[in-house]
């Protein structure tokens, strides 16, 4: 059963990221290599999602898997090296492109300067990213080589916001890693994206999705990876997140917002232990 109650609006958040999981939408295999299979799948919210599945070589039987959500302004290939190394440990991965990065900035960018629709637009993209993450789990579940009793998640920056909602709304994931995570990303994105006169209303509308709220409803194994020299997330905000994720394992790194390689090694080891795979270190 999902942890927590709905007294702080979490039930409404769960309802907003719900979808018809019985409706199978198209999944197309674009290419297949030694480890990576590139796919595109249709989102229940109306667009195609580009993703990659990394499988261990010569795996026998079902293997555990990790779903990854990348940072704002980045892409799924941010994790290419990490998921390759995890595959060598015997762990599969799914990495996919998040809509918020895809449609924020550039020629196809969303205009967040609109004082009426900015928060609504951001929220719709966020909800779609969460739904797409859940569909990615459906795709893994339909395979015969994934052990759905051993599923992990890694979210970095904005990807951790996705993970927080999944922790409250999705019971197929048992182990979560939150790296360089905001406690209240609603306020950060308000300051970064919208006009000053709409900062407060934007932050208020997105606040229910903040990890500082969603992680209170997570009854799973959690690892928080924090940066001591972070100029994006304050030390106070990291402490808020630690309080919200009561009982989580916490690791600090002497780095800026982009965590050092040591953090990658630590989460690979942590995931190996939580998902029941022997260490190769």
The single residue listed with the structure tokens 């295999």 is 29
Q: Are strands 48-54 and 63-69 parallel, antiparallel or unpaired?
A: unpaired
Note the pLDDT of residue 4.
Answer: 38
> Is 279 inside any structural domain?
no
Note the pLDDT of residue 5.
Answer: 41
Read out DSSP for 202-228?
HHHHHGGGSHHHHGGG--SEEEEEEET
Q: Give the range of the structural domain holding residue 69, as residue numbers without chain letter.
A: 63-274
Decide: helix, strand or coil at residue 237.
helix
> What's the rounded Cα separation, in Å, for the pair 273 and 42?
33
Domain count, the chain: 1
Residues 6+ apart with CB under 8 A from 11: none
Note the pLDDT of residue 58.
Answer: 83
Region for residue 106 given its phi and psi (left: phi exceeds 0; alpha: psi -120 to 50; beta: otherwise): left
* Helix, strand, coil tally for the chain in percent (to 5): 40, 20, 35
**Tokens encoding 17:** 């990221």
CATH number of the domain to which 90 belongs: 3.40.50.1820
> Is 10 inside any structural domain?
no
> Is 19 inside any structural domain?
no
> Is 58 inside any structural domain?
no
Note the pLDDT of residue 115.
Answer: 73
- Report the largest interatomic distance among the alpha carbons of the chain, rounded to a whole angstrom: 57
**What is the residue-level pLDDT of the chain in tens, covering all 281 positions?**
333 344 568 999 999 999 998 888 899 999 999 999 999 999 998 889 999 999 999 888 899 999 999 999 899 999 999 999 999 999 999 999 998 877 775 445 677 787 778 899 999 999 999 999 999 999 999 999 999 999 999 999 999 999 999 999 999 999 999 999 999 999 999 999 999 999 999 999 999 999 999 998 887 799 999 999 999 999 999 999 999 999 999 999 999 999 999 999 999 999 999 999 854 43
> Is 22 inside any structural domain?
no
> Is 34 inside any structural domain?
no
Neighbours of 261 (CB within 10 A): 11
Contact yes or no for 41/32 (Cβ under 8 A): no
Residue 121's alpha-carbon distances to 108, 195, 197, in angstroms, are 14, 14, 17
Note the pLDDT of residue 2.
Answer: 38
How many alpha carbons lie under 13 Å from residue 236 in its C-beta half-sphere? Answer: 1
Burial of 203 (0-12, 13-18, 19+ CB in 10 A): buried
Nearest to 189 by CA among 106, 123, 116, 265: 123
């Amino acid at each position: 059963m999902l942890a927590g109650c709905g007294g702080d609006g979490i039930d409404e958040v769960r309802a907003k990221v719900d979808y018809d999981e019985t409706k199978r939408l198209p999944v197309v295999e674009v290419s297949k290599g030694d480890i990576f299979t590139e796919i595109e799948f249709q989102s229940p919210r109306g667009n195609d999602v580009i993703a990659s599945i990394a499988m261990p070589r010569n795996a026998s039987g079902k293997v555990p898997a990790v779903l990854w959500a990348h940072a704002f302004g980045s892409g799924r290939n941010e994790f290419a090296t990490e998921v390759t190394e995890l595959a060598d440990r015997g762990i599969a991965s799914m990495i996919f492109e998040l809509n918020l990065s895809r449609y924020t900035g550039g020629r196809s960018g969303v205009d967040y300067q609109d004082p009426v629709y900015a928060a609504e637009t951001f929220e719709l993209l966020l909800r779609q990213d969460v739904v797409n993450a859940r569909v990615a789990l459906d795709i893994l579940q339909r395979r015969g080589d994934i052990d759905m009793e051993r599923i992990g998640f890694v979210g970095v920056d904005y990807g951790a916001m996705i993970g927080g909602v999944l922790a409250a709304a999705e019971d197929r994931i048992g182990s979560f890693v939150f790296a360089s995570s905001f406690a209240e990303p609603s306020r950060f994105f308000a300051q970064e994206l919208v006009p000053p006169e709409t900062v407060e209303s934007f932050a208020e509308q997105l606040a229910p999705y903040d990890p500082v709220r969603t992680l209170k409803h997570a009854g799973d194994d959690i690892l928080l990876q924090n940066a001591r020299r972070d100029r994006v997330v304050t030390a106070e905000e990291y402490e808020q997140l630690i309080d919200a994720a009561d009982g989580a394992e916490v690791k600090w790194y002497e780095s800026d917002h982009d965590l050092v390689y040591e953090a990658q090694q630590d989460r690979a080891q942590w995931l190996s232990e939580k998902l029941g795979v022997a260490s190769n270190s």
